[in-house]
Amino acid sequence: MAERATQQPGGTRAEGPRLLPWTTQNGHPCYLSTDGQGYLANLADNIEAIQLGMGEDLLEYARDAMAPDAKVLSATEYRWLARRLTEALSDALRVADSRGQRLPDRAEVTEDA
């Protein structure tokens, strides 16, 4: 469900629903009708930043765990790491999808310029 974005003097403003960084209890996507301002839009921005930061921290941990001189982890520890990496990748893809939907179309940017 792509949304249309228009260039505003202060930046890009999405027209249409914004994909939020959380899902319903049933795992369905949540959307917010917004102009990019307001409590829920700010909350979504903050949660996205936290998710991406946690993903960076987890990636650093995984790289350290996979280094040639690292101690060998147990099968349970590797499964835990794989699950957390899967969650972090899922979060990052959702953030990328949400932000990508809010980018202006190239044709619109060219016309506005």
Where does the pLDDT of residue 109 fall: very low under 50, low under 70, confident under 90, or very high at 90 and above?
A: low
Tell me how many degrees the CA angle 40-15-13 measures, rounded to the nearest 5.
Answer: 70
DSSP calls for 3-32: -EEEEETTEEEEESEEEEEEE-TTS-EEEE
Phi-psi region of 44 (alpha: psi -120 to 50; beta: other; left: phi over 0): alpha
Angle between the 75-101 and 39-66 helix axes, to the nearest 10 degrees?
Answer: 140
Both tokens assigned to 88: 């972090």
Residue pLDDT, tens place only, 43-87:
999 999 999 999 999 999 999 999 999 999 999 999 999 999 999
Q: Count how many residues are written for the chain.
A: 113
Work out the number of other CB atoms within 10 angstroms of the CB of residue 65: 14
